[in-house]
Structure 1
Amino acid sequence: MSSDGNSKRKAGNSSKLHIILLILCTNLASIFLFSGPFHWIPLQYLHPDNDSTHSQNLSSNRAMQGNEELIASLNQTRRELQSSKELSEELKAQIAQLTQFLRSSVQHPNSNDPDDPWLKWGGGSLRAELREFISPKKLPLGNSPNIGSDTIYPSVGQACALFKDDLNQYMDYKPGELCPKDEVLAQKLLLWGCEPLPRRRCIPHNSPNYQEPFPFPDCMWTTPPNSSVVWTAYTCKDYACLIDRKNHPGFDDCKDCFDLQFREKTRWLRPGGSIDYSIDEVLALKKGTIRIGLDIGGGTATFAVRMRERNVTIVTTSMNFNGPFNNFIASRGLVPLYITITQRLPFFDNTLDIVHSMHVLSNWIPTQLLEYILYDIYRILRPGGVFWLDHFFCIEDQLETFVPMIENLRFNKLKWSVGRKLDRGPKFKEMYISALLEKPLERHS
C-alpha cells in the first residue's frame, strides 16, 4: 500500500474513532441519567478482560464499523443530555476507561485481524512454535498503563524477516523436550541481525558429567573442567586444545586467551608503552569512583577479573567464536553478556562508571555503525564516567575519519595516545589509538 493510501486510511480510522466515541459516550450518559442503575451497561464493553471471548472478537475493523441504530438515536440522546449540566464522576471514569480501550483496539490489532503485520509476515508458512511466539498476547488484567495497551508483542528483530528459513529451522523442535544442538545456527542468526532470537520452550543440553565450579579466588585463574561445556559446536573438544591453539597458524578470535598462564597473566598490570595503560593508573585518575562497568568484547574476561581484584564489578560481552567463551567467563565467577555489537546496550542512561573495549571497536566495523555504538556508550556512562578505548586500530589514512568521529562526542580527554600497529609489519601502515575519555559532568549544546 502506498504512503498516500496509508495516510488516508489512518485519517479515516481517526475520524471513525471520534464518531464512535461520541456515540458511545453520549448513549452511556443517556442510559445512566434516564434508564436507572448504571449496571445495565454491558460490562464486557467496559472491562474486556472479564469476557475473553468478546475481547478476541472485538477487532479494530469491527470497532470502526458504524452502528446504524446508535447513529439514529444520536440526536435524541443529545436533547436528553441538554437537561443535565454535567456527568457524574462515575460515568466520567467509565467513559475514560472505554475511550482508552477503544484507542488500544485501533492501534494494536488482535491476533484475529487479517491485517496483523505478524501474520502477514509469516505468509502462512511459519513453524507452529514461531507463530505461537510472535502472535500478539492479550494482557490478562487488561490495559496496562506502562505499556499503553492491552496487548504485548514479543520482541523479534526486524532482520529476522530476511532469514525466515533459518528462523523456521531454529524454531523446529518439540516443546518440553531437548532443544536441537544448534548453537552455531543461533549465533549466525544473531550475527546476521536477527536479535533478539525468539524464546523457546525446550530444554538445553547439559554435559552429562557436570562438576561444580572452583571456589573463589581459585576459579579466576584456574582452567575449569571440560565437563562444564557441551563441545559439539566447536572445533576443539576440550580446554587443552583451546590452550594449545596459540601454537598453530590460522585465524581464531582471541586464540591465546584461554591460556591463563600465558599473556592473560600480565594483562593490564603495568604500562607497556605509550598506548598500553594499566588498570591501576586508570583507577587512580578517578580516585575511587569507579565501581561498576562494562567490557565490550572481553574475550575470556581477564579485564573483569583484574577489576574484581580491585573491588570493581564488570559485566563482559562476548560471543562464542569457535570456543565456549561465555561458559569460560561464568566458570571464573563473572557475568557474561551474550550480545552482538549491533544490539543497543541493555543499560539505562547515565548508569555505568566505566566502559572498556580492547581491539573489538576498530575499523572492521562499518563506519556509520561504529558511530552509533560510540553514542550508545556515551549514553550509558554516567556524568564523570570513563570510556577506555583500548587499542582501537585502523589504517593511517583512516585517522582523518575516526579521530573527528570520536572527538565529536566531546568527551574530556584524560589520556590520548596514537602509535604504530606493527604485528603485521610496517607495510600495512596500521595505527592504534588508546584513550581515556571522560563524560562531562555538564553538557551544553
Structure 2
Amino acid sequence: MGLEDYPPRKQIQQQQQSTIRSKLKILLLLVSSNLLTFFLFSPNSLRIPWSDRVPRIHLWDSEALLRELNSTQVHLAQTQSDLSDLQRRLLTSNSLLETLLTELGRIHGDSSSSSSSDSDWQESLSGELKLAVGPHKLPLGFTSQLGSDELFPSLGSTCRRFPDELAQYMSYPVGGECPVDDVFAQILMLKGCEPLPRRRCHPKTPTNFVPLPLPASLWSIPRTQASSGTPIPARTTPAL
C-alpha cells in the first residue's frame, strides 16, 4: 500500500513547485514592470544621456509642460489681439454703413422733396404756361424707347425761379402773331432760363405783302417787303 501511494505524492509536490515558480515569475514580472514605469515617468530619467534616435517621453516633465503652457498663453494673447482688431474693423464698417445709409436717405429725401416741389410748381401754373410746361400724351401711347406714354417739353430748370416773367412771356393770343419781345426773351436767357417754353403763335406778318405763287416762291429770294419789321440790322432781304 505504501508503494502504491508514492507516485501521487510525488505528482502533488511537483504541482506545488510549478505553482510556486509561476507565482514567483508573476511577482517578478509585476515588480519589473512597476520599476520600469517609475523609471520612465520620473524626472530623473530625463537626465540620462539618451541617444538622439531614442524617443524622449515628457509626460511628467515640468519644464516641458511650462514651455507648452507659455506657448499656449502666447497663442491665446495673439488670438485676443486678432479678435479685438476684428471687432474694431467691424465697428468701422458699421459706422461707414450707417453714414452711407444716412447719405442715401438724404439723397432720396431730397429727390422726393424736389419732385414734390416740381409737382407743386406745375399745379400752381395756369393758362399757356401750364400747357407748355406740363407733360403731353403721346399720340401712339406707350413707347419702349422713352419708357412712358408722356413727353415733357424742354424747359430750363432755372425758369422756375422767374414765374412772373414766364407768365408775361407766355401771355399772347393763341394762333395769332407773337409779340415783339426779343429783348425780354434775351433777358430771360441771360438769367439762365434756357431753353424758353415754346409758344403757339407765328411771327408778325409784313403789311401789304403778296407772296409769289407756287412753285416759284420755293426757289426765289423774297422781296424786301417781306421783312416783318422786327429789329433786324440788315436793310435788304438779300443781305440777310
Q: Same fold (TM over 0.5)?
A: no
TM-score by length of 1: 0.25
Q: Is the radius of gyration larger for structure 1 or structure 2?
A: 2
Which structure features the higher share of helix residues?
A: 2
Whose relative contact order is higher, 1 or 2, with alpha carbons under 8 Å and at least 6 apart?
A: 2
Which structure features the higher share of strand residues?
A: 1
